Chains A and B, each alone.
Chain A
Amino acid sequence: MIHNKDTILDLAAQQKRIDGRALEEYRQPIKIETGISWTAEGSARVQIGDTVVMAGVKLSQDKPYNDTPDEGGIMVNAELLPLSSPEYESGPPGPKAIELARVVDRGIREAKAIDLKKLKKLCLTPEKAWFVIIDIITINDAGNLFDVAGLAALAALRSARFPTVNLETGAIDYKHKTSTPLPLLKEPLPVTVYVLNDALLVDPNADEESAYDARLTVASDADGTISALQKGGEFPLSIEQISAILDLALEKGSFLRKELNKAVP
């Protein structure tokens, strides 16, 4: 598929990139829009360069899991739509979609980003709790889905409002939202650092993404606490490399957070 892999690797060795960006520079435009779907409790469309992802949050009430009777729950699902790339086919999520969903899921879950106990308390139907389902949908995959998807998921969570509930019947009226936001305790964002010919770079375009040696996704909170890691690619990483990757990931995490704060105050 890729014709300029050698060029990309040669350029990386000289600290350069095929589209002229600096190694640690994200593509433009960076656009974050929320409230794109009236039917979702929270929704967002995020664009970085030519990569576009939508995320939608739906809330439902269900019985808590047996081992956590006083907590609600979260679930993250990702769909790599055939609409978004000639490489993707119709059908159930494959390994790539599942990895994407699980990395975003872990970032949120392990940071304890959503107060799960509050999801139980906010649910007035006894025996039940609120469950948060985040669907990540690719619209145009032009590289770096992890970061764009993570940003979209967080923007959608921030914009989400609980639907109204009929106190007598317990029925959820999805057409009318309350003003109550989700109980967000922390806001983890993933940043993926790619290793190409020993150079570290962020936000690869589609060509760079098919030429990398290794990648490490680092989800971090506003105070720099790391809540999820995922290494990918064929090449191993040294501890020194990982240390440098973490520095870059934390710096870029706060860069993306500023973009999010500008768009969704």
Chain B
Amino acid sequence: MVYKKRLDGRSIEELRPMDAKAGVIPNANGSASFKIGKTWAIAAVYGPREMYPKFLQNPKHGVLRCHYNMMPFSGSGERIRPGNNRRSQEIAMVMTKALEPVVDLSAFPNAVVDIFVELPQTDAGTRCAAISAASIALADAGIPMLDMVSSVAVGQVDGTVVADLMYDEEAYEGVVSDIPVAMTHNGKEITLLQMDGEISKADLLKALELAKGATEKVYQLQVKALKEKFTLE
């Protein structure tokens, strides 16, 4: 059996409906909400502020620090016990690496810019939604940035290369691969790349090509969200 028609009727390059907003948390220096399908990420940026614990300070430049957390009721199964786990720590790390290349913290030695991402509900693609939300929140906070980072998953479901897999596609019977990608807008450089599953080199390159167009759609929405906040009535 070949995966011809997607489970929710989308075309292969079509993303789920998205919604983005900048400035959703008044206490934060910058914040954003990013929804894609039934996955929802809320990001808050605090800083630049003094880095604690102090031994993590870098006297040459500020440090970017990401935190990723699924709310206890955000999984599609049983309640998730609150607190850090191995998965959330790894995602926080790859998020930091995905955003660092576009953030210039050279003017803030010894400081930290904290990004907290929380997910109230999830249906695959959470790290991508987290990165897309974080990138809007960084811009909203006025952190010096060289570029925007936009992120979406691509992959292959039973022989067909598709964009933005939802959970039922990740769990599809047959050979499936899920490839979260983050891309800079101007440079079209890839700052996040992971994969679960199996794929041929040819299909992988096809998927990455698809990611260009997919992340561009995310970028357009990120810019729109920022413009909506900063355009006066």
Contact = CB atoms under 8 A, between A and B. Distances in A.
Interface of A: 36-41, 43, 50, 52, 54, 56-58, 60, 77, 79, 81-86, 90, 92, 133, 135, 137, 139-142, 172, 174-175
A79 B82 contact: yes
A141 B77 CA distance: 29
Contacts of A174: 76-78
Contacts of A137: 71, 118, 120
B26 A50 contact: yes
B121 interface: yes
A122 to B, nearest CB: 18
Contacts of B77: 174
A77 B82 CA distance: 9
B49 A56 contact: no
Given A85-B27, A139-B42, A133 B72 contact: yes
A56 B71 contact: yes
A223 to B, nearest CB: 31
Given A38-B38, A39-B76, A60-B78, A82 B71 contact: no
B72 A37 contact: no
Nearest to B70: A39
B116 A82 contact: yes
Contacts, number: 94
Interface in B74-91: 74-79, 82-84
Given A56-B72, A142-B26, A36 B82 contact: no
B44 interface: yes
B44 to A, nearest CB: 4
B121 A40 contact: yes
Output the residue of B40, B74, B83 with the most chain A CB within 10 A.
B74
Contact of A37 (B27, B73, B78): B73
A139 B82 contact: no
Contacts of B44: 83-84
Interface string B27-70: 11000000000101011101001000000000000000001010
B73 A82 contact: no
A40 B76 CA distance: 8
A83 B28 contact: yes
Contact of A92 (B43, B71, B83): B83
B117 to A, nearest CB: 8
Contacts of B83: 92
A57 B82 CA distance: 14
Contact of B27 (A38, A79, A84): A84
A42 B73 CA distance: 9
Q: Give the top 4 A-B pairs by smallest Cβ distance, nearest first.
A: A56-B73, A40-B73, A83-B116, A58-B79
